[in-house]
Amino acid sequence: MIRIKSKLLSNLILLSGLFACSSCRDSPEPPIPTAFMGHTIGESSMAWSSSENTSDPLSRCQEMLRSPVSNGLPEVTRKCQNFVDNGDYLMIIQDAHQLGMERAYKFIRWKVALIVVQLPREGESNLIKELNSHFAVAEPGKKWLGKDGAAIEIRPNAEYRVLTGRTPKSDGFFVVVSSANL
């Protein structure tokens, strides 16, 4: 009787172990992050800086806060302190290849949460074709969805100031990549 119970117990342990291992193999892989202009929503400031071939903005802010020069730049110091403390920061980069064009990256909790890219009007039809071929169309000519839930939207320049606090530098349009997950 003890032998039978022991055998049943060992079989039960073996079956539960096999079930646990097989359920691990069947768990779905997380979706590939939506990439746009070399960046993905959710990437860290370090990954962002690697793609941009520049120093990590978090490290730069930490260095700046330790510097005596920061006393003369109260607005920049405040923004850097917020990034170090909370992970929230808006970084705007002038495009060296196209005069007047900008790219903005909004970090939330030290991760890229929003990408805003200004583009010239003449590039819109090619961009729409490219987005149609890579993403699910949510609203033709205006909005696409990545497999990870990221939304890619084409918006008129009139809304640029709302997202960045700056006046648009061209008469084109801009693209916003965002996710509800962050």
Which residue is it, tokens 């539960």?
16
Q: What is the CA radius of gyration of the chain?
A: 24
Taking residues 21-27, what's their average pLDDT?
A: 53
What's the pLDDT tens digit per position in 45-88?
899 989 888 888 888 888 888 888 777 788 888 888 989 999 99
- Residue ranges making up the domain that contains 126: 2-178
Task: Please state, for a pLDDT cut of 90, what percent of the chain lies above it.
Answer: 25
Q: Is the dihedral of CA 6, 10, 11, 15 positive or negative?
A: positive
Q: Residue 176 in contact with residue 116, Cβ under 8 Å?
A: yes
Which of the residue ranges 19-28, 108-117, 149-158 would you say has the lowest mean pLDDT?
Answer: 19-28
5 vs 175: which has the higher pLDDT? 175
Count of domains in the chain?
A: 1
Q: Residue 106 in contact with residue 114, Cβ under 8 Å?
A: yes
Name 137's Cβ contacts closer than 8 Å, sequence gap at least 6.
Answer: 143, 144
Distance CA 65, CA 79 (A): 10
Do you know the residue count of the chain? Answer: 182
